[in-house]
């Protein structure tokens, strides 16, 4: 914790001349041209981009229950290598994280792994069954201090239950993150309802299944005076609803995330029949992806969240209809954002800091992440080589699972250093 680290010649937010950053006692001690004390670890940044460490509001770490697909330790390694200093672990584990015992377990295992701050997300309903509220208060007051609740993987579809959850959340000062999917509209769904799914004979997830729940929840949150976070926005229509809701909502209490895969990939991929492309919500159309990019650039969508969803080989290397939905995301997120948002000119690096670090930290109420790069601030940092490229190979990623949709793709933007409270957690592609 009290080690000294000197990052030499980094460009803060990719702006201005390179400066040296001295990290001491877990905080940024000095920015400018500090002479590193003898014995300080030195990183030659060579003009690379220094940003606040990334925060992922949406990660599936699979522990407890599916340690064959991912563990808190392996997922933490993937997170550190991806430039993350905090992740939110979704509640759809086995047992479900719907009580204080499970969330405290996840929180403790994250501390033991020590590579990234692991914050458990608590379930909204008992057993993710959508029938009665889980013990939100007990989870909020537990040692894990849960601040984000979600039934992700399932929608809190019952409007009365969602209303109660939102009302209850205001008293606890927490946020409800909704997986927006009207289940009556997605029975048997396999892919985005559109031309490609029709050709392959797949039952579709219509855009309206997502949009009808987002519209409903924006109204419920508004009437309850509650905060709502919309998970993995995937359609242009949802962006329209969010813009409308944010304009009429007084206190900025609606937020939303988009995944890297919905920014880059489309349902044209269905033609390959490869279940690696099966995900919920499904890959949508080219015009949806284009609209998600502009919505993110404009702030209609607040942030990028990975929805990192590792699956064991037997759950993916099978017939499309039996495959589980979800794809890896932690180690490729920065590169996909570089490709879709930076190289296109939609975001500069300050914008990347906003959507991958500052806004997610604000939404979850993390006081020591997503902070400005200033002396005295916590040293949660990521160094990015914006010009380097790499080729993605699932087998080489730190996750136990290998279900990356970017297999063999060459992507720009390489994370070269991740620092958690002054301690190097990843450097040059290896965890420390």
Ligand X SMILES: NC(=O)N[C@@H](CC(=O)O)C(=O)O
Interface with Zn ion, residue 179, by CB under 5 A:
yes
Q: Is 284 in the site for ligand X (CB under 6 A)?
A: no
Cα 185 to Cα 192: distance, rounded to the nearest angstrom? 12
Token duo for residue 31: 């920015």
For position 214 contacting ligand X by CB under 6 A, the verdict is no
| Shorter beta-carbon distance to ligand X: residue 153 or 204 | 153
- 221-229, 239-247, 320-328, 415-423 -> range binding ligand X (CB under 6 A): 320-328
| Terminal CA-CA length for the chain | 13
Annotated binding site: 58, 60-62, 92, 152, 179, 232, 280, 307, 311, 325-326
**List 307, 315, 339, 362, residue binding ligand X (CB under 6 A):** 307
Q: Where are the beta strands (DSSP E) in 281-349?
A: 303-304
Which one of residues 104, 152, 193, 302 is an interface residue with Zn ion (CB under 5 A)?
Answer: 152
Catalytic annotation, pick one of 56, 307, 315, 385 = 307
368: preceding bond cis by omega (within 30 degrees):
no
Q: Within 379-418, which residues bind Zn ion (CB under 5 A)?
A: none
Interface characters, 152-191, with ligand X (x: CB under 6 A)? xx-------------------------x------------
The answer to whether residue 288 is catalytic is no
Instruction: Return the one option of Zn ion, ligand X, none that residue 249 interacts with (CB less than 5 to 8 A, by type).
Output: none
Please report the sign of the dihedral spanned by the C-alpha atoms of residue 98, residue 99, residue 101, residue 105: positive
Footprint on residues 293-352 left by Zn ion (CB under 5 A): 307
Write the DSSP symbol of residue 344. T
Residue 115 makes CB contacts below 8 A (sequence gap 6+) with 73, 76, 77, 79, 80, 420, 425, 426, 431
Window contacting ligand X (CB under 6 A); options: 20-28, 122-130, 262-270, 318-326 = 318-326
Q: Which of 162, 226, 233, 279 binds ligand X (CB under 6 A)?
A: 279
Coil, helix or strand at residue 416: strand
The answer to whether 202 and 270 have CB atoms below 8 angstroms apart is yes
3-state secondary structure of 398: coil
Cα separation values, 137 from 124, 274, 328, 432, Å: 11, 42, 31, 36
Question: Which single residue brings its beta carbon nearest to Zn ion?
Answer: 179
- Cβ(153)–Cβ(127) below 8 Å: no
Binding mask 79-98 for ligand X (x = CB under 6 A): -------------x------
CA 13 to chain centre: 20
The entry of ligand X, Zn ion, none near residue 92 (CB within 5 to 8 angstroms by kind) is ligand X
Residue (11 or 284) nearer to ligand X, CB: 284
As given in the structure block, the two tokens for residue 67 are 């340690």
Q: Mind telling me the catalytic residues?
A: 307
- Residues of this chain that interact with ligand X (CB under 6 A) are 60, 92, 152-153, 179, 279-280, 307, 309, 324-326
């Amino acid at each position: 914790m009290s080690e000294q680290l000197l990052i030499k010649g980094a460009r803060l937010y990719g702006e201005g001349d390179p400066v040296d950053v001295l990290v001491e006692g877990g905080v940024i001690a000095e920015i400018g041209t500090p002479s590193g004390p003898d014995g300080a670890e030195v990183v030659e940044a060579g003009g690379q981009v220094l940003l606040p460490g990334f925060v992922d509001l949406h990660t599936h770490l699979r522990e407890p229950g599916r340690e064959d697909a991912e563990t808190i330790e392996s997922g933490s390694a993937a997170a550190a290598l991806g430039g993350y200093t905090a992740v939110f672990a979704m509640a759809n584990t086995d047992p479900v994280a719907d009580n204080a015992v499970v969330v405290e377990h996840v929180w403790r295992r994250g501390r033991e792994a020590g590579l990234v701050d692991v914050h458990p997300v608590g379930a909204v309903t008992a057993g993710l069954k959508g029938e009665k509220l889980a013990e939100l208060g007990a989870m909020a007051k537990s040692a894990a201090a849960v601040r984000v609740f979600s039934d992700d993987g399932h929608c809190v579809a019952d409007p009365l239950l969602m209303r109660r959850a939102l009302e209850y959340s205001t008293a606890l000062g927490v946020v409800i993150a909704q997986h927006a999917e009207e289940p009556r509209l997605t029975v048997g769904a396999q892919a985005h309802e559109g031309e490609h799914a029709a050709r392959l004979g797949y039952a579709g997830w219509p855009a309206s299944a997502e949009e009808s729940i987002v519209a409903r929840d924006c109204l419920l949150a508004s009437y309850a005076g509650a905060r709502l976070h919309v998970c993995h926005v995937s359609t242009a229509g949802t962006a329209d609803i969010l813009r409308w809701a944010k304009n009429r909502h007084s206190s900025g209490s609606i937020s939303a995330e988009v995944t890297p895969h919905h920014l880059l990939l489309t349902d044209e991929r269905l033609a390959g029949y490869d279940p690696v492309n099966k995900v919920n919500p499904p890959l949508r159309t080219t015009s949806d992806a284009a609209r998600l990019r502009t919505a993110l650039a404009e702030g209609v969508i607040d942030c990028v969240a990975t929805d990192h969803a590792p699956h064991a080989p037997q759950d993916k290397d099978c017939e499309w209809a039996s495959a589980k939905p979800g794809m890896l995301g932690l180690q490729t997120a920065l590169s996909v954002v570089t490709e879709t948002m930076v190289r296109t000119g939609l975001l500069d690096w300050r914008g990347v800091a906003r959507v991958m670090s500052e806004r997610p930290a604000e939404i979850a109420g993390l006081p020591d992440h997503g902070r400005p790069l200033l002396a005295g601030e916590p040293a949660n940092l990521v160094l990015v080589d914006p010009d380097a490229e790499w080729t993605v190979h699932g087998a080489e990623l730190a996750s136990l699972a290998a279900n990356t949709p970017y297999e063999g793709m060459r992507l720009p933007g390489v994370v070269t250093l991740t620092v958690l409270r002054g301690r190097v957690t990843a450097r040059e592609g290896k965890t420390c």
